[in-house]
Every structure is written in structure tokens, then in C-alpha cells.
Amino acid sequence: MFKSVVMLIFIVLLLIFSSQNMEHAEIHAVAGRPFSVPLILIIAGAFVAGYATALFTFIMKQSKRRDKERDITLRGPSGF
């Protein structure tokens, strides 16, 4: 029940934030003409890009740790 209430509050706050950031912002790319998109899409895109970067970094670190543990298990603690 508590989890549902917290999730509902989060969704309401997200909707309020979204509705207040519907203004259009111009994006100037390196080449081509500038184009206009809602500000909330820029914010959401930055959030998704940051989340994806963090997730990719976490997966790579876990993979390296798993490889290291497997290498230690196969060779033994002395390394030979």
C-alpha cells in the first residue's frame, strides 16, 4: 500500500513537471537548420542518456569483476 502511494505521488509530480516544461526550445545541430522540440523531451532525453551510460558502466564493471573472479578460480589464489 505504501509503495503504491509513493508511486502515485511520484507520477503526479512528474506530470506537473512535464506540464510546466512544454515550451518549445530550438536545437542547433552542427549541420542543417535548427529545429524546435518541447523542453520536456530534451530533459527526458538527457535523463535516458545518463541512465543508459550508468547502466552500461555498471554492466562493464560487473563483467570485468566476473572475469577476474573466474580467472582466480581457474588458476588458484597463487596465480599459477
- pLDDT tens-digit map of 49-79: 999 999 999 999 999 888 888 777 777 666 5
pTM for the model stands at 0.66
Report the SS3 class of residue 78.
coil
Residue that is written with C-alpha cell 530534451 in the block? 42
Residues of the chain with pLDDT > 90, as a percent, come to: 54
Cβ neighbours around 39 below 10 Å, total: 14
C-alpha 15/C-alpha 7 separation (Å) is 12
